[in-house]
């Protein structure tokens, strides 16, 4: 199987911003660990990060027919992007929503996701392992 890990706005700063919340490893380092996990299971994974809402919509559209599943951490777009929500609803490829932090233990504006309803499921609060657990959900 082939998977896409899609990271949204500000996730490129992982390892440098709010280390107490998101940890000290860079996105590149986390991606290498995810890659080792997925390839160790005999599958493939691609990685895309964008700070642009429309680009994330384009990548979700392009995932149709190419990937068996998408793991999406949309960052702050999670909380208000109806465009990303519509993109997810427009494709049949399953999308699992991911957050490194436990958004429900943080500011109130993070408690609401406009994406969850159109996602296959949601995994949050396990740091970088949220990505691994989301990918695992496609393999069980
Ligand atoms: C995040 C949580 C969001 O609220 C935040 O805007 C992010 C990262 C997470 O991975 O915990 O950028 O999606």
99 CA: nearest ligand 1 atom: 10
Ranges of residues in the chain with a pLDDT under 50 are: none
| pLDDT recorded at residue 33 | 98
| pLDDT recorded at residue 111 | 98
| pLDDT recorded at residue 119 | 98
Long-range pairs, 113-118, Cβ under 8 A, ≥24: 113/78, 113/79, 114/78, 114/79, 114/80, 114/81, 114/82, 114/85, 115/72, 115/74, 115/78, 115/81, 115/84, 115/85, 115/88, 117/85, 118/85, 118/88, 118/89
| pLDDT recorded at residue 48 | 98
The catalytic site residues sit at 22, 99
Please provide the CATH number assigned to the domain covering 2-139: 3.40.50.9100
Ligand 1 centre from 132 Cα, in Å? 16
pTM of the model: 0.98
Q: How far apart are CA 30 and CA 58, in angstroms?
A: 24
Ligand 1: which residues within 6 Å by Cβ? 10, 73, 75-76, 78, 99-101, 103, 110
Please state the domain extents for the chain.
Answer: 2-139
| pLDDT recorded at residue 57 | 99
Ligand 1 centre from 99 Cα, in Å? 6
Q: Which of 10, 17, 75 to mutate to test the pocket of ligand 1 (most atoms within 8 A of CB)?
A: 75
């Amino acid at each position: 199987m082939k998977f896409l890990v899609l990271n949204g706005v500000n996730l490129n700063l992982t390892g440098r911003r709010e280390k107490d919340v998101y940890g000290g490893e860079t996105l590149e380092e986390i991606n290498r660990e995810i890659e080792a996990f997925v390839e160790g299971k005999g599958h493939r994974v691609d990685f895309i990060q964008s700070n642009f809402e429309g680009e994330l919509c384009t990548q979700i559209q392009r995932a149709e027919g190419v990937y068996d599943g998408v793991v999406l951490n949309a960052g702050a777009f999670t909380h208000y992007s109806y465009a990303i929500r519509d993109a997810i609803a427009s494709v049949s490829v399953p999308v699992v929503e991911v957050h490194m932090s436990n958004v429900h233990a943080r500011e109130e504006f993070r408690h609401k996701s406009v994406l969850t309803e159109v996602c296959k499921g949601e995994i949050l609060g396990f740091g970088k392992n949220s990505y691994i657990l989301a990918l695992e959900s496609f393999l069980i």
